[in-house]
Amino acid sequence: MTSRRNFIALSVAAAAATLMPVTNAAASKSLKFPSNIVYTKKDPGVWNKKVGSHLPQVEVKGDQVVVQTLHPMTEKHYIVRHTLVDKDGNVVGAKTFSNTDKKAISKFKLPADSKGKTFYATSFCNKHDFWVNKVKL
């Protein structure tokens, strides 16, 4: 279990590092993650048939954001973790799931000045890797 926790921690750290702001304004408009390392709706890589069940969905409810991955949770195949990261790479919230959880749903309190800002919701599947959804609130 310790090695899995270390792997998850390293995955989140690596993802946060890739989300750091780009100083070139033109490059920041075309933010692209490394192919077949981080998956998005536009770039699902080898998992192109998995977008609907692996891309984290984001809904804002007042001062909270709800992150949900529409993925079955079974003993051998499940969502391991959600994170919400701001554009500067700061983790706003994180939730780790167990294979016995019924659904992969997380709720995070938003910082007071979040309106109009960009955030990244992440979802990590134990079989289909790390998914990111960019959201402007």
Quick: pLDDT tens for 42-91: 999 889 899 999 999 999 998 999 999 999 999 999 999 999 999 999 99
Q: Which residues of 101-120 are buried (b: 16+ CB within 10 A; e: fewer)?
A: eeebbbebebeeebeeebbb
Residue 12 pLDDT exceeds 80:
no
Alpha-carbon distance 61 to 78, whole Å? 25
Paired residues of 94 in beta bridges: 83
Give the pairing type, strands 38-39 and 129-136. Answer: parallel
| Torsion, CA 119, CA 69, CA 80, CA 75, rounded to 10 | 180
Which pLDDT tens digit goes with each residue over 100-109? Answer: 999 999 999 9
pLDDT at 45: 87
* CATH fold of 2-136: Immunoglobulin-like (2.60.40)
Greatest distance between any 2 Cα atoms in the chain: 44
Which pLDDT tens digit goes with each residue over 20-53? Answer: 443 333 334 445 667 678 999 999 988 989 999 9
pTM listed for this prediction = 0.75
Q: Which two tokens stand for residue 61?
A: 């409810």
